[in-house]
A = this chain, B = another copy of it.
Amino acid sequence: MPILYCHHESGHCYKVALALTLMGVDFEQRPVDLNRLRELRSEDFRNASLFGEVPVLVFDDGLAVCQSNAILDTLARRYGRFDGRTEAEKVRVREWLSWEGNRLAMSLPHLRFSRSFTAANPAVEAWFAERTQVDLDTLQNHLYCTDFLVSSGPTIADISACGYMFWADQARINLDSWPAVQAWLGRIRALPGWRAPYDLMRARHPILTGTRT
């Protein structure tokens, strides 16, 4: 059974846990204490993780993969699920993964962390907030025309982009301003087997205020 090193407050981990769940792949969760310095985290975790960060997924054959979008890419290629069907669709999926990694996976998680865990400098928090708005606008403009990010159906692009979105309230973002995004999240929630972040990931090590992950 694959092993997922994870933390229940990480949307990057949630993406992977959700992908495994939606693909019907059973996995073992090993919660990692993010309050510990990276070099003091367990040896099996450090051996498996290139950057000392969660998530890491270790497959049955020993292949260890880190970086949430690289894990999603590997899962889609290995299991042939939630991926584009044609080369052009697969490419579109990877464009969205790249966009997510560079934009949404930076803006929204930092805004949430600043507003719910440890406050950033106010000017920096304002920068996160502005960027989050632009990113939600990008999603919204696209989702007016299509049910899922790649029109053929739900893919790892959606699973990636929704990673932190179910915690929008923790970033003090009211998604009522982005109704197409809300409708899309509703379609994700309706996928067979969908579960919410705190329902899917086991809570063990709370994030201490003042912690920097």
Measured CB to CB, the residues of A under 8 A from B are: 50-51, 63, 65-70, 73-74, 87-88, 91-92, 94-95, 97-99, 101-102, 105-106, 120-124, 127, 138, 142
CB distance from A184 to the nearest CB of B (A): 16
How many copies altogether?
2
Residues of chain B within 8 A of A51, CB atoms compared: 99, 138
- Closest residue on chain B to residue A121 by CB atoms: B123
Residues of chain B within 8 A of A67, CB atoms compared: 94-95, 98-99, 102
Bound complex: CA A76 to CA B65 (Å): 19
Residues of chain B within 8 A of A68, CB atoms compared: 98
Knowing A67-B99, A99-B67 touch, does A50 contact B92 (C-beta < 8 A)? yes
Residues of chain B within 8 A of A121, CB atoms compared: 123, 127
Residues of chain B within 8 A of A123, CB atoms compared: 121-124
- Closest residue on chain B to residue A88 by CB atoms: B63
Residues of chain B within 8 A of A138, CB atoms compared: 51
Residues of chain B within 8 A of A127, CB atoms compared: 120-121, 124, 127
CB distance from A68 to the nearest CB of B (A): 7
Bound complex: CA A91 to CA B98 (Å): 15
Of the candidates B65, B98, B105, the one whose C-beta lies within 8 Å of that of A69 is B98
